[in-house]
Every structure is written in C-alpha cells, then in structure tokens.
Amino acid sequence: MSQPNSPGVVVIDANILVSICSKEPTCETAENALADYAAKGWPFYAPGAILTEVLFILCKKLQSGLLTEAEHKEAIESFNDYMRQIFPSPRGDISFILRSEEIRKGYSCLHSADGFYIALAEELTKTSEAELVTFDKRMVNVAAKNAPTVKVIFLTP
C-alpha cells in the first residue's frame, strides 16, 4: 500500500485506541488528538503489534471486571472500526524486526512492541513529517535516545 500524499502522517500507539475503545477517562483527550490529525489530513498508521496489544488489554479489562461482556463487545467493535482507518506499515513489519530490537536493547522486554511503533515512525519520517502519538511517557525517552528523528507527542492524561 502506498503512502497517501499528505503534509504529514501519524503513528498511533495502542494505548490511544485502548483509551477510546474502552472509554477510559483519557478517551476525550485521545479522540481530540485523532480528530486534530484527521482535520489536518494526516493519515493514521500503526504496526501490526497494535492488533495483539489492544486485544490483549481489552481482554484483561474484561477478565478483571473493568469491562462487562457488553462493554467488551462494544470495545472490540469500536477497535475494528478504527483499524479500518489505519494504514499498516508500508513495507511490512518484518522490515522492522532488527531495528525494533536495536531500540529495545538496554530496556526491559516490555519495550519490545514499542520498538515497532518507533521504527515505523522513523521510517515514515524519511518521506514526510511524522509524529507518534501516545500516553506512554517512557516511549518519549526511548525514542529520544534511540531514534532522535522521531517526534513523539505525549498526550497528558
């Protein structure tokens, strides 16, 4: 899939969609950020890791009682709808395996998926302005140290 012609692109971290789909207190902040990017005509991107990350977190919320069965079903349907508007990595995620591990090295395994988001944003900066939007403060620091061309937008919860 070729990258749409636009003034910029945005990589969406999984926590943004978890917030929106499960209607967390940060939901409005996340929705406003995505609406701002959409208004600017910036297409949305995410690595494939977003699929398993969001589904896992929504499942954990169901298991822990934070979501009812009906709320979980609604969250999954919302996630499905959002993902129809999000482009995958233009060259596929396989091209990011080694770079993602370089980014993760020196951090805990919890940063394994983060590396894919950062590597995707890094790749997209080669052809247009790109930003990575997240609620994860640690991703700001990881990107700054390992991928200084990546602009991470930390949304204040």
Amino acid at 63: Q
Amino acid at 156: T
Q: Is residue 2 predicted with pLDDT exceeding 50? A: no
Domain residue ranges of the chain, discontinuous segments joined by +: 8-154
Tell me the pLDDT tens digit for each residue of 30-78: 999 999 999 999 999 999 999 999 999 999 999 999 999 999 999 999 9
- Kindly report the number of other CB atoms within 10 A of residue 25's CB atom: 8
> At 108, is the pLDDT very low, low, confident or very high (cuts 50, 70, 90)?
confident
**pLDDT of res. 110:** 78
Residues 6+ apart with CB under 8 A from 5: none
Amino acid at 38: A
Q: Please give the CATH number for the structural domain made up of 8-154.
A: 3.40.50.1010
Task: For 78-123, give the DSSP string.
Answer: HHHHHHTTEEPPTT-GGGGHHHHHHHHTTS-GGGHHHHHHHHHHHH
Amino acid at 10: V
**pLDDT of res. 1:** 39
Closest of 154, 124, 117, 120 to residue 9, by C-alpha: 124
Tell me the pLDDT tens digit for each residue of 119-145: 999 999 999 999 999 999 999 999 999
**pLDDT of res. 7:** 85
- Strand pairing partners for 76? none
Please state, for a pLDDT cut of 70, what percent of the chain lies above it. Answer: 96
What's the mean per-residue pLDDT of the chain? 93
Q: Is residue 16 predicted with pLDDT exceeding 60? A: yes
**pLDDT of res. 5:** 54
